[in-house]
Chains A and B, each alone.
Chain A
Amino acid sequence: MDTVFHNLMLGFDVALTPVNIMWVFIGGLLGTVIGMLPGLGPATGVAVLIPVTYGMNPTTALITMCAVYYGAMFGGSRASIMINTPGDASAIVSCFDGYPMAKNGKAGEALAISAWASFVGGMAGMVFLVFLTEPVAAMALKFGPAEKFSLMLFALTATITLSEGSVLKGFIAMGLGLMMATIGLDGQSGASRFVFVEDLQDGIDFLVIMIGFYAVTEVFKNFSDIDQQYNVDAKSIGKVGMSREAWRRSFMPWLRGSPLGFLVGVLPGAGGTIATFLSYAVEKSASKKPEEFGKGAVEGLAGPEASNNACSCGALVPLLTLGIPGSGTAAVMLGALMMLGVRPGPVLFEQHPEVAWGVIASMLVGNIVLLAINLPLAIPLVQLLKIPQRIMLPLVLGMGFMGTYFLNYSSFDFVLVSVSALGGYMLGKLSIPIPPLVLALILGGMTEQSYRNALQISNGSLNIFYEKPISLAFLIMAVISLVYALKRQSTIVKV
C-alpha cells in the first residue's frame, strides 16, 4: 500500500508539471472531438495525432496519447445521443437510450449522464489500474522465454476469440500479421526473409501499417457517405445537468458497469464494444422496469458509459505491464512509444517508474480535466457534429500522410501506408477482422524470439512449454479460449 502511494506521488510529480497538464488538456480536447465524429474512433484519433507527439519526451508523448484515448472515449457517445450515430463501435449502446432521451427533450441530461458516467468509470478504472499494475509487472519480470511465448499465444488466441466474425478468418488475419512480422533480416541468424525490395530489409514499421489501417482505411470506408451532414439543434439540448432522479438511478449502474468494463478491458482483444453490450445486458436484467430500456432509461446509458471508460483503463494493464496491447488503440500507442524508444512492459516499472506512474497519475488528472471540458462545453462541442464529412475526411487523410512521413522520412512508407489502407478496406469487405492481424504484427517478432529461445534452452524439446506452471496456465487459457471460439463457431454460422 505504501509503495503504491509512494509511486503515485512520484507519478503526480511528473503529471502535474505545467507542460504535461497542458498536453492532458489539449490531448483530451482533441480526443473528445475526434471520438465524437462518426466513423472516427479512438484508434483513428491516436493514429492521426501521432505527429503531435514528435519532439516530445516519451513521458509527455504517452501522457498526450492517453489523453487522446480517454478523450475519445468521453466524446464517443456525444454523436450517439445527439444524432443516433455512434462515434465508434463502443458508443453503439449509447444510441439505445441516449438518443431516445434526446428525442424526449432530455438531451442535456443525457449528455451530463454520459459525461459523469465516463468520469466515474474512468476514475474507478484508474483505481483498479493503480493497484493491479505493480503486482502484474512484478510477476511478469519472472517470465522466461517459455512463459512469454505462451502468454503471447494466449493473447493472440483471445483476440481471435473475442473479435467479431468467423474464427477461421480470425486465424487467417493472425497469420497475415505474423507473415508481415517475419519480413526483414532475422534477428538471430541474420538471414534475409521475404525481402523483395531493399526498403524491407529492416522489416515493416508497424506504425505505418497502423496509420494505413486505422486512419486511411477509415476514410475509405466513409467515401460512400461523404455527403452526410448532421443537423444539431443547440436550442433543443436544454440545461446540461443531472436531476436528483438521474443521480439516484445512475449510482448502481456505475457501480456495476465500472468493474465489469475494467475486467473486459484487461482481456486482449475484448474492447469497449463487448464491455458496453455486457453492461447494457446486466442493467436490463437487473432493472425492475426492463420495458423502459430502449425508450430512454437512465440505467441503459449510465452503466455502459461507465463500463466503456473503465474498459479503456483495463486495456492499459496488459499494455503497461506486459507490453501487450489490449485494444486497437493501445496497439497504436504501443507503436508510437516504441518509435520514441520506450518499450512498455514490466521493465518499464522497474527502470522508468516516473514514465509508468506519471502516465497513470496524468490519467487521474485527465479524467477531472475531461469532466470539466465535457460538462460546460457540451453544447459548443456537439456543434462540431455539423462539420460535413467532405471537409473532415481530407483533413484526416492529410494528417495520416503527414504522420507517415515523420516516421522514417522514407517515400517507401507511402507505398506501405497506401497498400495497407487498401488491404484493410478489402479485408473489412471480406469480414476478416483487423485486430488479430494488428496484434500478430506487433507481437510476431517477440513471439518468434521467445519460441526460439525457449527451444534453444530445452535443446529443441517442446516439453518446456508445459513443464513450466505459468506457461502451462497460459496454454490452458489459450486452449479454453479456442474451444469457446470453436463452440461459438459451430452454433453461429458467420457469412
Chain B
Amino acid sequence: MTKNMQSGIFAVIIGLAYLAGTFKIAMYDTGDSVGPRSFPFLIAAIVLICGVALIFHDLRAKERKPFSWGFVAHRVVWLRIAATIIFGILFGLVLDTLGYLIAMFLFMIIITEMINVGRHKQNLIISSLFALISFLSFAVVLKLSLPRGLLGGILPF
C-alpha cells in the first residue's frame, strides 16, 4: 500500500471514530443556537472528505510506490522508540513514589544505556549529573516543587 493510501485510510478511520463520538455529545438548552456538536461535525466532515479524496487520488495515480514502515528493516529504531515510550510512561508513574532524583537517574541510565551502548561509566556519570544538576537547578535554585520521595528525609537541600 502506498503512503497516500495509508494516510487516506487512517484519515477515514479517525474521521468516522470522531463522528461517532460527536453523536454522543449531550445537547443542553443554554441559549447557544449553534451547540457543542456543530463544530466537531464540520471537523469530521473535513477529515473524512480529505481521507476519501486522498484514497481516490492514489487509486488514479499512474505511479504507485509501496510504502513500508520498516518494522523489520529498522527494528532497532522501533525498539528504541518503544522502549523510550514505555520507560517514559513508567518514569511518570514512579516519580512521586521514588522521588525526582532516583526516578530521573533510573530513566536516564536506561535511556543512555540504550543509546550510548556499552559505555557504562560514561552513562553513569551523565545520568547522575543530569539528575543532580536538574534537581538542584529547579528544586533548590528556582524553588520549584519536585517530589523528594524515598530520599525525602536524607537530602540536605
Residues of chain A whose beta carbon lies under 8 Å from any beta carbon of chain B: 51, 54-55, 166, 168-169, 171-172, 174-176, 178-179, 182, 186, 188-194, 216, 219-220, 223-224, 226, 390-391, 393-395, 397-398, 401-402, 404-406, 409, 411-415, 417-419, 421-422, 425, 429-432, 448, 451-452, 455-456, 459-460, 493, 495
Select one of B36, B93, B116, B143 contacting A193, CB under 8 A: B36
Would you call B93 and A398 a contact (CB within 8 A)? no
Q: Does B59 contact A (CB under 8 A)?
A: no
B1-17 CB mask vs A (1 if < 8 Å, else 0) is 01110110011001100
B105-128 CB mask vs A (1 if < 8 Å, else 0) is 001100110011100001000100
With contacts A406-B138, A414-B88, A414-B91 taken as known, whether A176 is within 8 angstroms of B14 at the C-beta atoms is yes
Q: How far is the CA of A48 from the CA of B96 in the complex (A)?
A: 22
Which residues in chain B, 25-70, are within 8 Å of chain A measured between CB atoms? Answer: 25-28, 30, 32-36, 38-40, 43-44, 46-47, 50-51, 53-54, 57, 61, 63, 65, 67, 69
Q: How far is the CA of A427 from the CA of B131 in the complex (A)?
A: 32
Contacts of A191 in B (CB 8 A): 25-28, 36
Query: Can you spell out 17 A-B residue pairs with CB atoms less than 8 angstroms apart?
Result: A172-B54, A178-B43, A188-B30, A188-B36, A189-B30, A191-B27, A191-B28, A192-B25, A192-B26, A193-B21, A194-B40, A216-B88, A394-B111, A394-B130, A398-B108, A414-B92, A422-B85
Would you call B34 and A456 a contact (CB within 8 A)? yes
Would you call B33 and A54 a contact (CB within 8 A)? no
Would you call B92 and A55 a contact (CB within 8 A)? no
Would you call B4 and A495 a contact (CB within 8 A)? yes
Contacts of B67 in A (CB 8 A): 430
With contacts A397-B111, A422-B85 taken as known, whether A186 is within 8 angstroms of B36 at the C-beta atoms is yes
Contacts of A421 in B (CB 8 A): 84-85
With contacts A190-B28, A395-B126 taken as known, whether A175 is within 8 angstroms of B50 at the C-beta atoms is yes
Would you call A182 and B111 a contact (CB within 8 A)? no
Per DSSP, chain A at the interface is helix
Q: How far is the CA of A216 from the CA of B65 in the complex (A)?
A: 29
Known: A166-B54, A178-B43, A394-B126. 20 other contacts (CB 8 A): A55-B142, A166-B4, A175-B11, A175-B44, A178-B39, A179-B14, A182-B39, A188-B32, A188-B36, A189-B27, A191-B25, A397-B88, A411-B93, A418-B85, A431-B3, A452-B34, A452-B38, A456-B34, A460-B34, A493-B63
Select one of B21, B39, B145 contacting A194, CB under 8 A: B21
Contacts of B151 in A (CB 8 A): none
Select one of A168, A194, A219, A432 contacting B57, CB under 8 A: A168
Select one of A193, A411, A455, A495 contacting B25, CB under 8 A: A193
Would you call A394 and B26 a contact (CB within 8 A)? no
Q: Look across to chain B and name the residue whose beta carbon is closest to the beta carbon of A177.
A: B43
Select one of B3, B28, B63, B92 contacting A413, CB under 8 A: B92
Would you call B4 and A179 a contact (CB within 8 A)? no
Would you call B51 and A172 a contact (CB within 8 A)? yes
Q: How far is the CA of A190 from the CA of B29 in the complex (A)?
A: 11
Q: Which of A171, A175, A179, A409 has the most CB of B within 10 A?
A: A175
Contacts of A219 in B (CB 8 A): 84
Would you call B7 and A179 a contact (CB within 8 A)? no
Would you call B47 and A394 a contact (CB within 8 A)? no
Q: How far is the CA of A172 from the CA of B11 in the complex (A)?
A: 7
With contacts A174-B46, A179-B47, A418-B89 taken as known, whether A425 is within 8 angstroms of B95 at the C-beta atoms is no
Contacts of B104 in A (CB 8 A): 398, 402
With contacts A179-B18, A452-B39, A460-B34 taken as known, whether A55 is within 8 angstroms of B143 at the C-beta atoms is yes
Contacts of A166 in B (CB 8 A): 4, 54
Would you call B88 and A394 a contact (CB within 8 A)? no
Would you call A451 and B138 a contact (CB within 8 A)? no
Contacts of B138 in A (CB 8 A): 51, 54, 402, 406
Would you call B143 and A415 a contact (CB within 8 A)? no
Contacts of A429 in B (CB 8 A): 3, 69
Would you call A220 and B126 a contact (CB within 8 A)? no
Select one of B43, B107, B144 contacting A401, CB under 8 A: B107
Q: Give the distance to chain A from B53, nearest Cβ to Cβ, in Å.
A: 6
Q: How far is the CA of A415 from the CA of B89 in the complex (A)?
A: 6
Would you call B50 and A168 a contact (CB within 8 A)? yes
Q: Give the distance to chain B from A13, nearest Cβ to Cβ, in Å.
A: 25
